Amino acid sequence: MDEKLTALETAIKAGKRKDALALTQELVQSSPPGGILNALISGMNDVGKRFKANEIFVPEVLVAARAMKGCLEVLEPKLAAAGLSPEHTIVMGTVEGDLHDIGKNLVVMLLKGANFNVIDLGVNVPPEKFYEAVKEHHANVLALSALLTTTMPAMKSTIEKMRGSDLKDIKVMVGGAPVTQAYADEIGADGYSMDAASAVELAKELVG
Amino acid sequence: MHTITLSNCVGKNLSVCLREHGFSVRRSCGGRGICRSCEVDILSGSVKERGQLRGVGQRVRACQCVVDSACLVVDTGQSADLIAHVEEAFTVLRPWPESGETLFAKARGNCALAVDIGTTTVAVKLFGTHTGISLAGAGALNAQTQVADDVLSRIEACAQAGGLERLQSLVLQTIHQLAQTCLDKAQRDWGDLGAMIVAGNTTMGHLFWGEDPTPMGKAPFTPRFTHTRRGDGAALLPEWAGIEVLSLPHMSAFIGADISAGLWAADFFEAQGVCVLMDIGTNGEIVLKTPQGIFSASAAAGPAFEGYGLSSGMRAKEGALESVRIKGGHLQTRTIANAPMIGICGSGYVDFLAEGARAGWLSEHGRFTENAPVLVHETHGRCVVLGGDEKAPVVVSEADIANLLKAKSAIAATLLTLLDKATLSPSDLDSVFVAGGFGKHIDAENAISCGLLPDVPVARIFYLGNASLGGACAVALDKAALPALERDIATVQTIAVNLEPSFEDHFIDEMGLNKMGENQ
Ligand code: B1M
């Protein structure tokens, strides 16, 4: 059994989605879901680390994340059935007016890989929807992504919406190619991260 | 080495000052201090880079600097004209109309000007209104680059007071000067110029007429107008009074009149079988004709293949590495005009990717293998040196390759997603029309093998050059053309590829060094 778990971890690291999926499907028949999750997490953790150290780049991380995504789809119902739920919840989405989601999806996968419960609201998400989701899911962190110069102001209005509400203390993190630390400071975000791997570290800090 | 002296700029942003001094510094990341494309060396004086004092001998990112001394001298490394490649040449595949009435039959004088307004460059052609004979051509950097580099940043600039007026006036001035150059070359006067036919992307079209482009900055990306517009030049510039100005129709916010004109130049709607027009530029527009319909999308590739944001990227100019072969583990390189190598242009990068993969220097994910002569450079990281000298080596780094693969993948994934709409694959394409300056110089076999162009016999690939300019001329020479073009482009459907479930998968699959669609 341990061998299979190691093989799963290796398949995630190498982004072999078919192998990873087949192994997960096999493992869920007999193995406790928590152990399988741990294998996925340590695989993804390694990917995140190598990405951060510039040993691998976005293409390889995308491939690994996609492999992980397929496995999680199989595993999540089992985890829920076993009553295993992550400690912290993050609501994430691409802001209003913006339809880019590949980077955001990657951040979502790495966060899941670090055992966060992530509520992904998709793209083109208006401030009200973020507010409602944070409220509904009692989220600890709100994560906003924007890829266009022209939609960065929507991050600002989302933060304003939160700060002017009963959820004003929610920790907000922002990111996306055009976003900078300076912009994050300007709009009153609690944190900015440059890439998906640092987003995970930031999220850990924000809930820590 | 290219030095610029700035005086009396204390307190101002360095990249802005450089632009005001006519040097169009690159800012691939939009001035956010990320890409290093605006780096300059300080030769005299000082600046504050993010609050830190920097002086002589230091290399700084211009976009992050505030000028600190009354006199500042910087070395920008290369001169401004290295940055923008103005493509004036074009090939019109459509049969040239032989006789009959032309579009501007009633215009004054006997010359007309075709104008291609590109985001980076503007190209014009002066021709006989009725004869179609080319009289003169000219090209220049679009003066709007003083304000911002890319389309979205220009749209953003219009959200500020006076932004739209400033951008409109800058582009009109650019065109005016180019028109003047052509009239001088052809020994004509303004009175001889009776008409102007304009093509450009949708944002450029809006800025030309002074229409607010801001609704195109966010989803649902709605243009203020897409139709053909005409008017007297007096409404634009007083000197243009009496000139009939016409701009060609756009298809959507990100498929503009430059592509409409290109389709006309390619005779796209009459072409046999399944065909595609690809403009391999920052916005990567693609139009695909299939028996199931005509689909278009913009691939938003970013400017990597134009050399932006890469360690040694430059445009196709003297000294640019344009061809690479790796034979028996050895590099064979050729630069334009065989001049000493100063950088790498798009065709050089395409060659390096394909040859590198073939020679086993690059893994399928675009990483250097142990076979490659890799070196770790302090600023560029893991890279291979292709030329230059110790002080200014010409390199390709792993980060460069990741950027190129991302741009390539955006283009390939967009085409594959459109092909999916008609359940076709790349090999089903009967004709591939490549628009833009980039296409002409690339080695088609290599572009195919790294997946930038679809895998079809090279005889099915046609290079159009500046198809926007060519199409505009062709439309002007035939009165029947405009109504036909308007009718034809109305049949093109714009596809929001992000809403297509297959796009993301294709985007990930195409990030490798494989032929297009090979990884499916
Ligand atoms: C909360 O905390 C965090 C922390 C970190 C976070 C974070 C949140 N979110 C992201 N991160 C970070 O982590 C990730 C991994 O490290 C990183 O995410 P990234 O998203 O940066 O990286 C991803 C993993 C991979 N990268 C990407 O996915 C973006 C790649 C490029 C090529 C790109 C793509 C793929 C697309 N695009 Co778009 N697109 C471009 C991009 C150009 C380029 N070469 O980068 C860019 C972003 N696009 C642009 C544009 C303009 C557009 N796009 C559009 C559309 C598209 C596609 C649909 C074709 C597709 C998106 C598909 C999708 N489902 O997302 C258009 C919209 C039209 C429409 N109908 O949607 C359109 C608006 C117009 C056009 N020309 O087509 C440009 C923006 C320019 C600007 N100044 O704002 C652009 C830079 C290309 C260019 N022309 O130069 C980090 O940013």
Local structure of B262: helix, strand or coil: helix
- What is the CATH topology of the domain spanning B260-303+403-509? Nucleotidyltransferase; domain 5 (3.30.420)
Quick check: B435 and B91 in contact, CB under 8 A? no
Count of residues in chain A: 208
Of the residues A54, A81, A108, the one at which a domain ends: A81
**Six token digits for residue A202:** 């930031």
Q: Are B189 and B239 in contact (CB under 8 A)?
A: no
> Is the Cα dihedral A98, A99, A103, A107 positive or negative?
positive
Domain positions in chain B: 3-82, 111-259, 260-303+403-509, 304-400
Helix axes A2-14, A17-30, angle to 10 degrees: 150
End-to-end Cα spacing for chain B: 47
What are the pLDDT digits (tens) for B19-53?
777 676 766 666 777 667 788 889 999 999 988 99
- Is the predicted pLDDT of residue A155 greater than 70, yes or no? yes
pLDDT at B152 (0 to 100): 92
Inter-chain residue contact A62 with B508, CB threshold 8 Å: yes
Chain A, nearest residue to B218 by Cα: A97
User: Residues near B359 by Cβ (< 8 Å), separated by ≥ 6?
Assistant: B326, B329, B371
Distance CA B438, CA B316 (A): 9
What is the spatial distance between Cα A195 and Cα B285, in angstroms, rounded to a whole number?
28
Ligand 1 closest atom vs CA B153: 82
Domain boundary among A50, A81, A112: A81
Quick check: B496 and A99 CB within 8 A? Answer: yes
Q: Which residue is closest to A181 within chain B, CA to CA?
A: B32
Which of B155, B493, B507, B511 has most ligand 1 atoms within 8 Å of its beta carbon, as the pocket-test mutant?
B507
Evaluate whether B490 touches B460 at the Cβ level (below 8 Å): no
Six-digit token string for B156: 């953003």
In one letter, which amino acid is B506? Answer: H
Query: With DSSP H G I counted as helix, E B as strand and the rest as coil, what are the percentages for chain A, rounded to 5?
Result: 60, 10, 25
The total domain count for chain A is 2
For a ligand 1 pocket test, name from B152, B252, B414 the mutation site with the most ligand atoms within 8 angstroms of its C-beta.
B152
Alpha-carbon gap, residue A164 to A158, rounded angstroms: 10
Is the omega angle on the peptide bond into residue B426 within 30 degrees of 0, that is, cis? no
**Cα separation, B344 vs B341, whole angstroms:** 8
Among the candidates A81, A114, A145, a domain finishes at A81
Cβ-defined contact of A148 to B366 (cutoff 8 Å): no
Q: Within this chain, do residues A61 and A117 fall inside the same structural domain, yes or no?
A: no
Nearest CA in chain B to A146: B218
Which residues 361-420 of B are in CB contact (within 8 Å) with A?
A: 365-367, 381, 398-399, 402, 405-406, 409
- A186: domain range? 89-207
Confidence of residue A199 (pLDDT cuts 50, 70, 90): very high
Report CA A41 to chain centroid distance, whole Å: 12
Chain A CB within 8 Å of residue B29 CB = yes
Residues A114 and A203 occupy one common structural domain: yes
Alpha-carbon gap: A82 to the closest alpha carbon of chain B (Å): 31
Residue B177, pLDDT score: 97
Query: Is B260-303+403-509 the same fold as B111-259?
Result: yes
If one counts every other C-beta atom within 10 angstroms of the C-beta of residue B100, the result is: 9
Q: What is the CATH number of domain B111-259?
A: 3.30.420.480
Cα separation of B245 and B233, whole Å?
Answer: 6
**Residue of A19, A77, A79, A74 whose CA lies nearest to A43:** A19
What pLDDT, on a 0 to 100 scale, did the predictor assign at position B81?
47
**Are A184 and A116 contained in the same domain?**
yes
Average pLDDT taken over every residue of chain A: 94
For the CA atoms of chain A, what is the radius of gyration? 17
* A174 & A96 share domain: yes
How much is the CA Rg of chain B, to the nearest whole Å?
23
pLDDT digits (tens, 9 = 90+) for A20-32: 999 999 999 999 9
Q: For residue B79, what are its two tokens?
A: 């001169």
Q: How far is the CA of B153 from the centre of ligand 1 (A)?
A: 14
What is the CATH number for A194? 3.40.50.280
Q: Give the per-residue pLDDT at B82.
A: 43
Same domain membership, residue A137 and residue A65 = no
Cα separation, B356 vs B329, in Å, equals: 10
Q: Residue A178: which of B30, B219, B499 has the nearest Cβ?
A: B30
Give the number of the atom of ligand 1 that is nearest the alpha carbon of residue A197.
16
Pocket test for ligand 1, best of B298, B405, B408 (most atoms within 8 A of CB): B298
Going from the Cα of A100 to the center of ligand 1, the distance in angstroms, rounded, reads 5
Q: Are residues A102 and A168 located together in one domain of the fold?
A: yes
3-state DSSP call for residue B348? helix
Conformational region of residue A124, where left means phi above 0, alpha means psi within -120 to 50, and beta covers everything else: left
Chain A residues with CB under 8 Å of a chain B CB are 54, 56-60, 62-63, 66, 96-102, 105, 123-124, 148-151, 154, 178, 180
What pLDDT was estimated at residue B233?
98
* B228 touches B248 (CB < 8 A): yes
Residue of A60, A100, A149 with shortest CB distance to B153: A149
Residues A67 and A101 in one domain: no
Helices assigned H by DSSP within B67-162: 151-158
A48-59: b (≥16 Cβ within 10 Å) or e: bebbbeeebbbb
pLDDT above 90 covers what percent of chain A? 88
The list of chain B residues with pLDDT below 50 reads 79-83
Q: What contacts B444, CB < 8 A, 6 or more positions away?
A: B453, B458, B461
Rounded to two decimals, the ipTM of the complex is 0.92
Measure A99 CA to nearest chain B CA, in Å: 7
Q: What is the pLDDT of residue B80?
A: 44
Instruction: Report CA(A193)–ligand 1 centroid distance (Å).
Output: 16
Q: Which atom of ligand 1 is nearest to the CA of B220?
A: 70
CATH of domain B3-82: 3.10.20.30
Q: Determine the atom of ligand 1 nearest the C-alpha atom of A62.
A: 24
Among residues B447, B306, B410, the alpha carbon closest in space to that of A177 is found at: B410
